[in-house]
Amino acid sequence: MLELRYRGSCPSPGEAVSPPPREGEAAGGDHETESTSDKETDIDDRYGDLDSRTDSDIPEIPASSDRTPEILKKALSGLSSRWKNWWIRGILTLTMISLFFLIIYMGSFMLMLLVLGIQVKCFHEIITIGYRVYHSYDLPWFRTLSWYFLLCVNYFFYGETVADYFATFVQREEQLQFLIRYHRFISFALYLAGFCMFVLSLVKKHYRLQFYMFAWTHVTLLITVTQSHLVIQNLFEGMIWFLVPISSVICNDITAYLFGFFFGRTPLIKLSPKKTWEGFIGGFFSTVVFGFIAAYVLSKYQYFVCPVEYRSDVNSFVTECEPSELFQLQTYSLPPFLKAVLRQERVSLYPFQIHSIALSTFASLIGPFGGFFASGFKRAFKIKDFANTIPGHGGIMDRFDCQYLMATFVHVYITSFIRGPNPSKVLQQLLVLQPEQQLNIYKTLKIHLIEKGILQPALKV
Amino acid sequence: MESESEAKVDGETASDSESRAESAPLPVSADDTPEVLNRALSNLSSRWKNWWVRGILTLAMIAFFFIIIYLGPMVLMIIVMCVQIKCFHEIITIGYNVYHSYDLPWFRTLSWYFLLCVNYFFYGETVTDYFFTLVQREEPLRILSKYHRFISFTLYLIGFCMFVLSLVKKHYRLQFYMFGWTHVTLLIVVTQSHLVIHNLFEGMIWFIVPISCVICNDIMAYMFGFFFGRTPLIKLSPKKTWEGFIGGFFATVVFGLLLSYVMSGYRCFVCPVEYNNDTNSFTVDCEPSDLFRLQEYNIPGVIQSVIGWKTVRMYPFQIHSIALSTFASLIGPFGGFFASGFKRAFKIKDFANTIPGHGGIMDRFDCQYLMATFVNVYIASFIRGPNPSKLIQQFLTLRPDQQLHIFNTLRSHLIDKGMLTSATEDE
C-alpha cells in the first residue's frame, strides 16, 4: 500500500518510485513491479476526494506485530531466530489441537458455537482487509451494513437448519411456529431492508467504493457463511463426518510441511514458493493412511458415529442410535497383489474407511487449491497474513483457508452417496400440506408400502 | 451527470494504460436506431424524436412480449434464458472495460464456463422436479440426476482450480476482481432468472402479472413525472419525482387489479405448467384452485358509500395482486436506483446499446430482479406448501423403516384431524 501513497502525491506520470522492501515479502522473490498490477488501484484511489487521503498516515496492512506471549518469549530467548519461530509455531499448533479435542469432548453444541465463532472472526478478518484496501473506514453506514448482512444470512441459514432438527421443540412454541412458517419471507424482508439502506446510503463521491464494499461483503458471505453452515450440517450427520475431514486437512498441512522441510526440492507452484512436490505427494500418502486409521478408531464409538438429535424431553443433544451399516465391521476379500503384500486373505474394515480414502484424497489433492487461492489473494492485496490473531500462524482465515472446499465437498459427498433426504424434513413438509393433499399422499404411500411388503394389508392397527 | 472534476481525477498516470482506451467515461451510445426510424422521424426536433423512438420501441417490446406468451411456456423459458445470458454478457463486458482486462489469460473462458456450471446446476434441480417421469425413463438422465450435485460441484471445482492455476504474477488483483465480479453477477443474474422460471411453472399468471406491474410502474411513473413532476425523489436518479412515484403506485395497483381479473378467467394462465409424458409437451390444464374462483366479498362501510355496492365478486388472487403491485411500485424502484448508482459508479450511461433509445437489456430488467425473488418468496410463504409429488419422490428414496415410521406418523396425524377413521383403514 506504500506504493499508493507515492502515486497519489507525485502528480507526474511515470516517475518510478521503488517501494522499500517490506518485511516478509522477500521470501518468495515476488517483487511485483507496481506499474501494471496497481493500475486499477489508481482508478480506485483517485476517486473523489481520496486524493487527500493518500497523504495521510493510514497504515497499509501492518507487518506482523509480534503477539507472542511474554512467557514463550522468555522461555525461547536462548534459541536462534529460525528455531524460535519453529518452536512458536509448534507450540501453538499443539495448543490448537488440544483446544480442538477439548471442544469435541464438550459436545456438539459447543462445536456449533465454535463454528459460529470462527465464521464471525473470518468474516471480520476479510472485511477488515477490504476496508484497508479501499481506505473506506468512514464510508457512511458501511460497517453497520456489513454486519447486518452477516446477521441476515446467518438468520436465514440457521432458520432453515433449526426448523429441520428442532422440529419437536419448535412445534411446542407458538411464536417459533410463526417464525418458521414464514421464515423465508421474514429473511427476505430483512435482507431487503439492508439492500434499501445500502441504496439510500449511496453518497455522491463514493459510489464506486460503496459498490466495491457491497460486492466484497457479498462474496465474503458466500464463502464463509455458506461453508460454515455446510460444516454444521455435516456435524449433524454424525461427528465423524466433521472430525475426519477437518483432521485430514490439518494432517495434510502438517505432513506436507514436514515432508517439504526434510525432503523438499522441486517447487510446486509459483504462487506458494515454499510448497514442493515432495511435500505434496508425501502429504497425500500420509493423509490417506492417517484418515484410514482415524476412521477406524472413531467408527467404534456411538458418540461419533450417530446423527446428532435434539431430544425434547432431555432438552439437549443426544447421539445415540443403532450404527448404520457404514459403521459396522465387514470382511472384504483383498485383491491379489495386496494379498501377497499383507499375507492375509481377508480384512475387516468399516465401510466408512473406504469413504475416508475418498475424503483424504480430496483433502490432499484439491484442498491445497484453497490454500493457493488464499495465497494469491494475499499477494494480490499485498498482505502477509489475514490478521495477527494467532502468534506464528497469522489469522483464523490462514488456518481455515483449506477447509472451505473440504466442507462443501463432504456435504455434496454425503448427499450424493451416503444418505437420501432427511426423514424428519420429509415428515415436517408432509405435515404442512393441505389435509386433502395429505390424504392423497397417504393413499399413494399405502399402496406403495403394501406393494413392497413393508406394510401388511390385513393388519388392524 | 457527474461533475467534470470527477471525470478528470479518473485519468491514468501510467503511460502504457494511456495508450489503451481511457477509463472514463466508457464509450457513449453509438446510435443504433435503424435507418427506417431515422428517416421517418428526421423532421421532428431532437427531443420529440427521442420520445418517439422510445415510444415505438416500447410498443415493439410489449408486442413481442405478447407474442411470446402466446407461443407458450417452452418459448418463454428459452427467452428467459437468453435474457439471462445477455445480461450476464453486458455486466461482464463492463467489468472488462473497467479493469482493462481484455487480455487476462483465460478469463473470458472462465467467466462463461462458470455461467455454464451454475446454469447446469440450477436447471438440473428444476428439471428433476418437473420432468420427473421423463428422467426416470432414460438411463443416462437418471444417473445424471441422481448424482447431480456431485457432478455440478466437480464442474465448478474444475473451474476454480483452473482459476488458481491461471493466476499470473503481475495481474493477481485484477484476476481476483474479475473473479469476484463474475460471481456477484452470477448471483444476481442467474439465480433470479431461475426464480422467474419457478414462478412460471407455478402458473403463467405468476410470471405475467409481476412483470407487467413493473413495466406499468416504469411507464406510469414516467408519465406522471412528465406531466406533473416537480419534487425530486432521490439524488441518485434526478429525473425521478415524488409525483411520478406516488402516481405510478396508484396506477400500478389499479392496473394489477384489472389485469388479474382478466387473466384469472383463463385456464392457460392459471394452471401450473406440467410436462405431459404421453404427448411429450407442456400442458396447462387443471381444475383452477380456490385462488382463481370468484368469491363474494363484503365491501367495508367506507367504500360502500362511495361505490354504492354492498358486495363485490373478486378472485382472491386479486388481493394477492395488490401485494405484488405494491412491491413492484415501492421496492422495485430500488433495483433501478441500485443500477443507476452502479452506472454512476462506473461512469457509464447505459449498460449497452442493444435497444435503441433504451440502452441495454439490463437497463430494462433492473427493476425486475427484486420482483422475481419477491414473487418466489411470496408464493413459497403464502400460497403453496411443499410440492406433493416431490415429497413422494423423496419418500420413495428413504429406507423402509423410515418410510414406515413416517407413514405411521402421518396416519395418526390424519386420524387426529378426523380425515381418517380407523374403520376406513381396511378397505
**Separation of first and last alpha carbons in chain A:** 75
* pLDDT lower than 70: segments of chain B: 1-47, 100-105, 127, 132-137, 276-280, 354, 356-358, 384-390, 393, 396-397, 399, 422-427
Q: Verify whether the Cβ–Cβ distance A445 to B147 is below 8 Å.
A: no
As a whole number of angstroms, the distance between CA B28 and CA B348 comes to 7
Which residues of B are less than 8 Å from A222 in CB distance?
Answer: 183, 187
- A454–B404: do the CB atoms touch at under 8 Å? yes
Asked if the Cβ–Cβ distance from B172 to A380 is below 8 Å, we say: yes
Report which of B3, B7, B4 is spatially closest to residue B346, judged by C-alpha positions: B7
- On whether the pTM is more than 0.90, the answer is no
C-alpha cell at A422: 432427511
A40 closest CB neighbour out of B15, B174, B380: B174
> Nearest C-alpha of chain A: how many angstroms from B86?
21
Q: Which of B170, B172, B337 sits opposite A376 (nearest CB)?
A: B172
**What pLDDT does A30 receive?**
35
Nearest to B334 among A195, A435, A444 (CB): A195
Residues 6+ apart with CB under 8 A from A194: A145, A148, A149, A152
User: Any bridge partners for residue B314, and if so which?
Assistant: B295
**Residue-level pLDDT at A8:** 33
CB-closest option in B146, B157, B411 to A442: B411
Q: Does B403 touch chain A (CB under 8 A)?
A: yes
Q: Which of residues 371-400 of B touch A (CB under 8 A)?
A: 373-374, 377-378, 380-382, 385-386, 388, 391-392, 394-400
Instruction: Identify which of B341, B413, B414 has the shortest CB distance to residue A199.
Output: B341
Per-domain residue ranges of chain A: 65-106, 108-139+203-420, 423-460
Which residues is A310 bridged to in the sheet? A317
Q: What is the DSSP string of B128-170?
A: HHHTHHHHHHSHHHHHHHHTHHHHHHHHHHHHHHHHHHT--GG
Provide the residue-wise pLDDT of chain A in tens; the chain has 461 residues: 333 333 333 333 333 333 333 333 333 333 333 333 334 444 443 333 332 233 233 334 444 445 556 666 666 566 566 677 778 778 888 888 888 888 878 877 888 888 888 889 888 888 888 877 777 656 667 788 899 999 999 999 888 776 666 766 666 677 777 777 788 889 999 999 999 999 888 888 888 888 888 888 888 898 888 888 888 888 888 888 988 998 999 899 889 888 888 888 888 887 788 888 988 999 999 999 999 999 988 888 878 888 777 766 666 777 777 777 778 888 877 777 777 777 777 778 888 888 999 999 999 998 888 888 888 888 888 887 777 767 666 777 777 777 878 888 998 898 888 766 566 667 767 776 666 777 777 887 787 778 777 777 655 44
User: Could you tell me the end-to-end alpha-carbon distance of chain B, in angstroms, rounded to an integer?
Assistant: 76
B-contacting residues of A 198-257, CB under 8 Å?
198-200, 202, 204-205, 207-208, 210-211, 215-216, 218-219, 222
Q: Does B337 touch chain A (CB under 8 A)?
A: yes
Predicted pLDDT of residue A189? 92
Number of other residues whose CB lies within 10 A of the CB of residue B25: 14
Identify the pLDDT of residue A286: 94
Cis amide prior to B105 (ω within 30 degrees) = no
> One-letter amino acid identity for B192?
Q
User: How far is it, in rounded angstroms, from Cα A178 to Cα A375?
Assistant: 45
SS3 of B180-241: the string is: HHHHHHHHHHHHHHHHHHHHHHHCHHHHHHHHHHHHHHHHHHHHHHHHHCCCEEECCEEEEE
